Structure 1
Amino acid sequence: MGKMIDFNCTYDNAVGINKEVTEKTGLKFPEAYKNGESMVLLAKELKKYDDRNFCELPFCHTVEGEAMGGSINFGDENIGPRAKDYICTNAEEVLNLPQIDYSKGRIAEVLKACKCLREEGENVVLYISGPFTIMNVLMDSRYVFKIFRKNPAVMKEIFDKLQDEIVRFTEEAQKVGVNMISYADSSGGLNILGPKFSEQVVEMFTYPLLKRIEAMISNETILLLCPKTTFALLGTDKAVWKDIDLGETIKYSEACIKVIGKAKFVGQMCVKNKAFELKDGIIKTINLL
């Protein structure tokens, strides 16, 4: 077993809307967060403002939780959507939540916006959340960790339910042509869970999830792992680095696009770090074992 190490991330909550951008669009909030056409406009403006080579959706980490019945405060032009009131207090309530209907609600509008942007030739990064981030919308974290400590078998049932939803979300993203999927679970990082529970999460959830996704995504899609997830996989001997030499100094975000078709996973840096350059032209991709 390798050593579990953490990644000091300053981008955990970086998905959001800049006030300068919202004022420029003239859109009304919070309605704009719920409409696919508005999302397209916002994503394009954010791309220009941040000087990126891709558009990003959604603008928060609450979409999956809301689609499972979670209560959301949609915010305004200054603060994006966030969790409002918890709807679950025990494992049974979480397990009884309905499957996500990807044909309605805000999650459907996100997919519609992704499709529109891809048809216009944009690279689209779809942010998909991990289990602890999703549960943060549904249940107080104190109850989540209590279940994990006292009844890991029931926690596995919850993990399986959420894993199925993440796979289905990925399938829907494939249908609309999304070519870059970002997976992160900052609420379940090593700094929060500790080494023992982090190893269990990799075994029970992360590794089997990514193996399923690896088998289903097309060669025109790449999965961008949060470095916290990458290091957890490496530290539990579930993955290894594989270097690809691009032959030039290149920004990390640009390198991620260049290796689409050559790798399924990258994750040495957060894709939101637009200043990070690969000085030697070598990007570290990830091979699952």
Structure 2
Amino acid sequence: MSALSPKERLLKVLRQEPVDRPPVICPGGMMNAAVVDVMNTTGHTLPAAHKDAGLMAELAADVTNYTGFENLGIPFCLTVEAEVLGSEVSYGTLTCEPKIVREIYPSVSDVKLKNVEDMLGAGRVETVVQAVNLLAKQQPDIPVIGNLTGPISTAASLVDPVPFLKELRKNREGAHRVLDYVSKLLIKFAQEMIGNGATVISISDPTATGEILGPKMFEEYAVKYINTVIDAVQAQGAPVIVHICGNMAAVRHLIPAIKANAISTDAVVNLRQLKQDFPGVTTMGNLSTYLLEFGPTEKVAERARLLVRDGVDIIAPACGLSTSTRLEHIQAMTGAVKEG
């Protein structure tokens, strides 16, 4: 098989076509690899890069160049949508990711629906879109992954999450209204990124776990609205990766109902078994981020090789990376996959 570019390899896997080896990626968003070692080496740092398109693109390129991950992934957090929707955000520090300081609404009943089109040029949405454009032009052979916060997590960053989760049961009409609203914003954001050169859209929805929602609400809300976003993104010609956090035992049977081109999972999930149970699912993951942070390098490389042997389609960290993760541990992971 002739040598494939990183973009070609990832797209082939997402189309379920044969490749020479699995891609090794870290999509960005919740799985952000802008670790302190990279930022201190290059001088392109957070939190400044959260708000500057040029710096965001430079840091994304630094991550790819230094870690060996075969993609460019932005933004570096899960707060872009919540901020544009009106919640208060702290941009964090070099070592601490952005966080929601205060959700704007106490209940789904209080949510005022803004014009989604008006939000596309507000907050950091335009910053991310501009950074996508820069990266797509500068690095045409490397896939640019544009990241979205999933519908449930976005809604739980707009509305205080404790009452929001209760209202999924007690005020279903109001909950669906809010989830429909945030899904429309996510679709428009994704379309803007795709129009500016994003190769793949990745959706991380850490609040939408089987452990938090249970199977009935996972099906009613998470599957429904994630698929709403997926359908719109795929209609634009871009494939979609969906990351599901935590132990999936309670919702395992619903995984095939998610229309993503690949399913990314946490480290507790046995991906070899998942592939056996659902042969049509393209699997991604799931090297422990605890192991990536603390090492040693030999065990990181060994685990990466095991994932390849198990037939995992895309090798990636299992979940969010600590900013203190040592660069040599990440390089051990990417190097082991590329060695074949």
Indicate yes or no: 2:33 matched with 1:31.
no
Partner of 2:197: 177
Partner of 1:93: 110
Q: Secondary structure at the match of 1:188?
A: coil
Q: Is the 8 A contact 1:133 1:186 kept in 2?
A: yes
Letter in 1 for 2:164: V
Range with greater deviation from structure 2 (95-104 or 48-57): 95-104
In the superposition, the TM-score normalised over structure 1's length comes to 0.74
Deviations 1:5-29 (A, max 9, x none): xxxxxx9953253111222232465
Give the superposition deviation at 1:117. Answer: 0.6
Match of 1:107 among 101, 107, 125: 125
In the aligned structure 2, how far is the partner of 1:130 from the partner of 1:211?
14
The 5-angstrom pairing of residues 150-169 of structure 1 reads 150-169=170-189
Q: Secondary structure at the match of 2:96?
A: coil
Partner of 1:6: none
Deviations 1:154-173 (A, max 9, x none): 11111111111111112111
Q: Is the 8 A contact 2:284 2:312 kept in 1?
A: no
Partner of 1:58: 75
Q: Secondary structure at the match of 1:158?
A: helix
Q: Is the 8 A contact 1:74 1:82 kept in 2?
A: yes
Q: Secondary structure at the match of 1:224?
A: strand
Q: Aligned residues, how many?
A: 250
Q: Secondary structure at the match of 2:178?
A: helix
In the aligned structure 2, how far is the partner of 1:112 from the partner of 1:82?
23
Partner of 1:127: 147
Structure 2: where are the runs of 5+ without partners? Answer: 1-27, 263-270, 272-279, 289-300, 315-340
Indicate yes or no: 2:205 matched with 1:190.
no
Q: Secondary structure at the match of 1:75?
A: coil
In the aligned structure 2, how far is the partner of 1:171 from the partner of 1:132?
19
Q: Secondary structure at the match of 1:48?
A: helix
Give every structure 1 segment of 4 or more consecutive aligned residues whose post-TM-superposition deviation is greater than 4 Å.
231-234, 239-243, 271-274, 280-284
Give the superposition deviation at 1:270. Answer: 3.5
Q: Secondary structure at the match of 2:104?
A: coil
Letter in 1 for 2:284: M
Deviations 1:1-53 (A, max 9, x none): xxxxxxxxxx9953253111222232465333200011011111111232111
In the aligned structure 2, how far is the partner of 1:70 from the partner of 1:208?
23
The 5-angstrom pairing of residues 77-88 of structure 1 reads 77-88=94-105
Say if 1:234 and 1:278 are closer, same or farther in 2 by CA, change over 3 A: farther
In the aligned structure 2, how far is the partner of 1:202 from the partner of 1:233?
13
Q: Secondary structure at the match of 1:186?
A: coil
Indicate yes or no: 2:175 matched with 1:136.
no
Give the superposition deviation at 1:206. Answer: 2.7
Structure 1: where are the runs of 5+ without partners? Answer: 1-10, 244-251, 253-264, 285-289
Give the superposition deviation at 1:281. Answer: 6.5
Give the superposition deviation at 1:278. Answer: 4.2
Partner of 1:246: none
Deviations 1:69-89 (A, max 9, x none): 121101111112211122110
Q: Secondary structure at the match of 2:95?
A: coil
In the aligned structure 2, how far is the partner of 1:79 from the partner of 1:199?
33
In the aligned structure 2, how far is the partner of 1:36 from the partner of 1:200?
37
In the aligned structure 2, how far is the partner of 1:60 from the partner of 1:235?
27
